[in-house]
Amino acid sequence: MTQTYLPGSVIGVLGSGQLGRMFAIAARQMGYRVHALSPDNDTPAGQVADVEIQAPYEDLDSVAQFASRVDVITFEFENVPSKTTEVAERHAPVRPAGSVLNTTQNRIREKTFLRESGLPVTPFAPIRSEGEIRTAIETVGLPGVLKTASWGYDGKGQAKVDSEEQLREAWNSMERQEAVFEGWVDFESEISVVAGRGLRGEIACYDPILNLHRNHILDVSISPSGIPPKVAEEAAEIARTVVEKLEVIGVLCVEMFLKEDGSLLVNELAPRPHNSGHLTIDAHTTSQFEQQVRAVCGLPLGSTQQLRPAAMANLLGDLWNQAQPDWYRACSLCDLKLHLYGKREARPGRKMGHLTGLASTSERARALVLEARDLLNPRIRETP
């Protein structure tokens, strides 16, 4: 597990969405070749990769062939079947390892790992059968949030409940699949820490990022976050502990709740670059995607120094409802960066791109990206 892959090597990516796209751009800038595999074609990652392979993750023969033609493999989202990574690992190193994926793609395993590691985690209890509903309420209390154990993201597969009856109804609506019941947390804010861990165990953390959500989807991320330095140090230490105990080789994001008393609770882990870290592309010495390339290939990790305060605003498919967004007006603002993902169809709630604003303060950066996003909306387009 000490093999280093220098520029010119071929990196395989399982998954082909926007995270894979930005990873491929970073890798190609550093002189690597990129092969992407997913069930789709003409994908965000495939458009910029050297080779795009369309095959279901369950097509293990195709996965084996893909893995045999690359030097090292990573993934851009955690919903890759475990069997897929097992087959891939027979032909090339997978970084982070399939064991990391196995832990983080199931909320029960993930939260159990966090609790057993002595890390602060939201109270939780598994629900796999009718009989565990009452036990879960006695363990966690009410109100709470029911979440599917697997395959959930951006608020999908979860519901807030205030009573046992609501919990039963919510579990039935999720087709009684394995789920986790979490205690409701009254928090002051949500933050995330992106951490990279290299082949030799070195760790580099980005400063905490403040995250604002709308309809359970990340809306705006801001850095510096403005949280107290002591809390920021604790958040970074939590992230370091997670990547060390999981033996991550790559990049992982730790999402946390900051409570009003200044304490932190880990909410979720993402074993890959994270939406909140997109602002590192324009605002930091080393982006989270370059850091992933460095870690996966065994190169020294890059500096996580932030060069300017920044804010990132997601662009969802809703912007395309009336007409093509007004790119000209938004791009007329100085210190604004536009990133589009090459997705062919705009749908409500679908992440189509993002804006990053750079300014002298976090508050000004946030105001800049919000102004730019308003200008994109054709419904408020000025009359010539």
Phi-psi region of 84 (alpha: psi -120 to 50; beta: other; left: phi over 0): alpha
Please tell me the predicted confidence (pLDDT) of residue 8.
Answer: 98
User: Which DSSP category does 121 fall into?
Assistant: B
Domain with CATH 3.30.1490.20 in the chain: 123-183
CATH 3.30.470.20 domain extents, the chain? 187-380
> Among residues 171, 150, 151, 153, which one has the least CA distance to residue 161?
171
Chain segment 123-179, per-residue pLDDT in tens: 999 999 999 999 999 999 999 999 999 876 555 678 999 999 999 999 999 999 999
Answer whether 124's CB lies under 8 Å from 180's CB: yes
CATH superfamily of 123-183: ATP-grasp fold, A domain (3.30.1490.20)
Q: Mean pLDDT for the chain?
A: 94
Give the alpha-carbon dihedral of 327, 328, 334, 339, to 10 degrees.
30
Name the pairing type of β-strands 144-148 and 72-75.
Answer: unpaired
Q: Determine the Cα–Cα distance for residues 39 and 286; give it in Å rounded to an integer.
A: 31
Q: What does the alpha-carbon distance between residue 119 and residue 115 come to, in Å, rounded to a whole number?
A: 6
Does residue 384 have a pLDDT over 70? no
pLDDT digits 0-9 by tens, 248-300:
999 999 999 999 999 999 999 999 999 999 999 999 999 999 999 999 999 99
As its CATH architecture, domain 10-94 has: 3-Layer(aba) Sandwich (3.40)
CATH 3.40.50.20 domain residues, the chain: 10-94
> pTM score, two decimals?
0.95
Domain 187-380: top CATH class = alpha beta
Report the percentage of the chain scoring pLDDT > 90. Answer: 91
Range scoring the smallest mean pLDDT among 56-60, 79-83, 199-203:
79-83
- The predicted pLDDT at position 158 comes to 86
